[in-house]
Amino acid sequence: MSTPAGQDPRPLNRRTFPSAPAAPPRLVHLGLGAFHRAHQLWYTQHAEADPAHPEWGYVSFTGRSATVAEQLTEQDGLYTLVERGPEGDEHEVVTALVEARPADDVGRLWELLAAPGTAVVTLTVTEAAYQLGPHLAFDAQRPAVAADLALLRRAYRDGGFALDAVGVPATPAAKLVVGLAERRRAGAGPLAVVSCDNLSANALAARHAVQGLAAAVDPRLGGWIERTVSFVATSIDRITPRTEDAVLGSVARETGYSDMVPVVTEPFSSWVLSGEFPAGRPAWERAGAVFVDDIEAFERRKLWLLNGAHSLMAYAGQLRGHATVAEALADPVCRQWVEQFWDEAQQHLTAPGLDVPAYRAALLERFANPRIAHHLAQIAADGSAKLQMRAVPVLRAEREAGRPGTAAARMIAAWTVFLEGRTELDDAAADQVLAAAAGTGRARVRALLALLDRELAERDDVVDLVAALAADLR
Ligand SMILES: NC(=O)c1ccc[n+]([C@@H]2O[C@H](COP(=O)([O-])OP(=O)(O)OC[C@H]3O[C@@H](n4cnc5c(N)ncnc54)[C@H](O)[C@@H]3O)[C@@H](O)[C@H]2O)c1
Ligand SMILES: O=P(O)(O)OC[C@@H](O)[C@@H](O)[C@H](O)[C@H](O)CO
């Protein structure tokens, strides 16, 4: 597929790329970023029984900026997925995206949600976008939620929304509430909402965010969502860093197409799902997805071992001068901290079938892939939300078992040191984090810990442990 020497690469679209028929739009996605392109769209493409007559097309909306939607629209939704193994790259053009839409095109979103043919909504909007309180509870006091609630209440009349009066809500949950109300009004029947974000209990998180908001607008709408919408839980896995510019050139050379928005991902991929799809779904199992009755153990294994190690390296690794996951893992000190954290987490991953030793061995190989530049700075974003799911549960479980939980506490300690001297932060709760980080000594550690877990922050022995580990890291 490479470009003959001296020839310019062709543009990539459904006219230039052979056999790229567009499937009917039956899937909707919020958060058209790198991961959606490496994961759900790839699974959907590989689920088709007859690629010449695909049955499931995705209409995907960006979360905020319109740029990716504009670039993908120029390419009729086509893009190149680069599977980057330790030895080389495999290129594949993905055709399952039939419309790429900007975040503010809520008119199209609501039209699709009201259509009986739409069967599934998936989400990759980041952990922080769910805007939930402690224990994933709906929290109407959070500023973004309060603003959307006021907006929705103003526009709600006679059991439905006056769409012109809604404008563009800020949170994904509010966009879905309006769309689901439109579905109710249209009598279009049930559908499934599938969170593919790295959250523990992501189905519950999506349910609480959406149903909580709907019920606050009108309890009858909340009740309809509870009866009609299936919130499906997932454990999703495929390491997909932000695309670096150099990839554009290598994709053009290797494929002969100039693609503005290729995505680089690792060869490994996994998708475990649990829940009902009342309006149908692609046969994702054909592409390797696994459907289970109880997902919690899989979810914990992935969030604690993979994402936990990532966050530990993101903070401790950067403090030790490393820029990528592969570099941090090659440092024997970081590697030992990761292994110690895994030893702690493993004590609480005892469900049958998890095969933690094999999972750990595979993770070491995946992290060490020298050709994937997974930047620690990207993983370090939104630490205040991520550490609640990656460090706190292991620390709590260790303490309940009568052990100190030193390795999990080190992840939190590294975060507190990483925050020192910062005046800006890539965190959805940046204001609160920076305010807590502005203190000194034990009070500072306690204030930061309180953002992760109020109960742990009240325990002097935990504060002392984190403070001592932080001192060691400086
Ligand atoms: N990248 C991975 O390896 C990976 C693997 C598993 C799961 N995930 C999940 O997917 C999410 C997205 O990852 P990505 O690599 O695609 O990132 P990305 O930066 O490429 O895309 C993120 C998308 O989410 C949107 N978004 C961000 N904040 C938002 C907000 N507050 N409200 C609404 N939309 C918002 C962005 O606009 C963008 O469309 C992660 O946060 C994680 O939960 C990622
Ligand atoms: O995507 P985030 O920001 O939730 O977390 C960063 C990484 O830990 C994460 O993207 C992993 O690479 C991914 O979860 C692997 O499947």
3-state helix, strand, coil in the chain (%, to 5): 50, 15, 35
Q: Pick from 328, 336, 440: which is nearest to 377 by CA?
A: 328
DSSP element (H, E) containing 339: helix 332-346
Q: Which residues form ligand 1's pocket by a CB distance below 6 Å? A: 31-36, 62-64, 124-129, 172, 197-198, 236, 238-240
- What is the arithmetic mean of pLDDT over 1-20? 80
Q: Is the sign of the CA dihedral 329, 330, 331, 337 positive or negative?
A: positive
Start-to-end CA distance of the chain, whole Å, equals 51
Domain definitions of the chain by residue range:
10-293, 297-473
Instruction: Give the whole-angstrom CA distance, residue 165 versus residue 152.
Output: 9
Q: Is the pLDDT of residue 280 over 90?
A: yes
| Full-model pTM | 0.95
Q: Pick from 465, 344, 447, 328: which is nearest to 409 by CA?
A: 465
pLDDT at 193: 98
Instruction: Give the whole-angstrom CA distance, residue 384 versus residue 428.
Output: 8
Instruction: Give the whole-angstrom CA distance, residue 380 versus residue 414.
Output: 11
- What is the arithmetic mean of pLDDT over 445-474? 97
Q: Pick from 93, 90, 83: which is nearest to 21 by CA?
A: 93
Q: Is the sign of the CA dihedral 113, 116, 117, 121 positive or negative?
A: positive
pLDDT at 8: 86
Question: The CATH number of 297-473 is which of 3.60.15.10, 1.10.1040.10, 3.40.30.10, 3.40.50.970?
Answer: 1.10.1040.10
Over the stretch 313-347, which tens digit does the pLDDT of each residue have?
Answer: 999 999 999 999 999 999 999 999 999 999 999 99
Residue 6: pLDDT band with limits 50, 70, 90? low
Which long-range contacts (C-beta less than 8 Å, at least 24 apart) are formed by 46-52? 46/286, 46/287, 46/288, 47/282, 47/283, 47/284, 47/285, 47/286, 47/287, 47/289, 48/23, 48/282, 48/286, 49/283, 49/286, 51/19, 52/19, 52/21
Which ligand has an atom closest to residue 31 CA? Answer: 1
Site to probe by mutation for ligand 1, drawn from 124, 199, 210, 236 as the one with most ligand atoms within 8 Å of Cβ, is 124
| Fold agreement (10-293, 297-473) | no
Over the stretch 196-241, which tens digit does the pLDDT of each residue have?
Answer: 999 989 999 999 999 999 999 999 999 999 999 999 999 999 999 9
Residue 133: pLDDT band with limits 50, 70, 90? confident
Amino acid at 204: L
How many A from CA of 96 to the centre of ligand 1? 19
- What is the arithmetic mean of pLDDT over 379-392? 96
Amino acid at 266: E
ipTM: 0.98
Cβ–Cβ under 8 Å, residues 86 and 371 = yes
Instruction: Give the whole-angstrom CA distance, residue 140 versus residue 355.
Output: 41
- Percent of all residues in the chain with a pLDDT value above 70, rounded to a whole number: 99
Site to probe by mutation for ligand 2, drawn from 265, 374, 379 as the one with most ligand atoms within 8 Å of Cβ, is 379
pLDDT at 4: 52
Q: Is the pLDDT of residue 5 over 70?
A: no
Residue 378: pLDDT band with limits 50, 70, 90? very high
How many A from CA of 187 to the centre of ligand 2? 37
Residue 135: pLDDT band with limits 50, 70, 90? confident
Mean pLDDT, all residues of the chain: 96
Residue 185: pLDDT band with limits 50, 70, 90? very high
Q: Pick from 402, 411, 397: which is nearest to 449 by CA?
A: 411
Can you give the length of the chain in residues? 474
How many A from CA of 198 to the centre of ligand 2? 7
Amino acid at 202: N
How many A from CA of 386 to the centre of ligand 1? 13
How many A from CA of 400 to the centre of ligand 2? 28
- Residue 207 CB contacts under 8 Å (≥ 6 apart), including other chains: 193, 231
How many A from CA of 307 to the centre of ligand 2? 6
Q: Is the pLDDT of residue 73 over 90?
A: yes
Q: Pick from 210, 194, 354: which is nearest to 273 by CA?
A: 194
Site to probe by mutation for ligand 1, drawn from 32, 35, 299, 302 as the one with most ligand atoms within 8 Å of Cβ, is 35
pLDDT at 3: 52
Ligand 1, atom 20, residue with closest C-alpha:
33
Instruction: Give the whole-angstrom CA distance, residue 474 versus residue 471.
Output: 5
Give the CATH class of 10-293: alpha beta
- What is the arithmetic mean of pLDDT over 39-59? 97
pLDDT at 158: 86
- What is the arithmetic mean of pLDDT over 155-184? 96
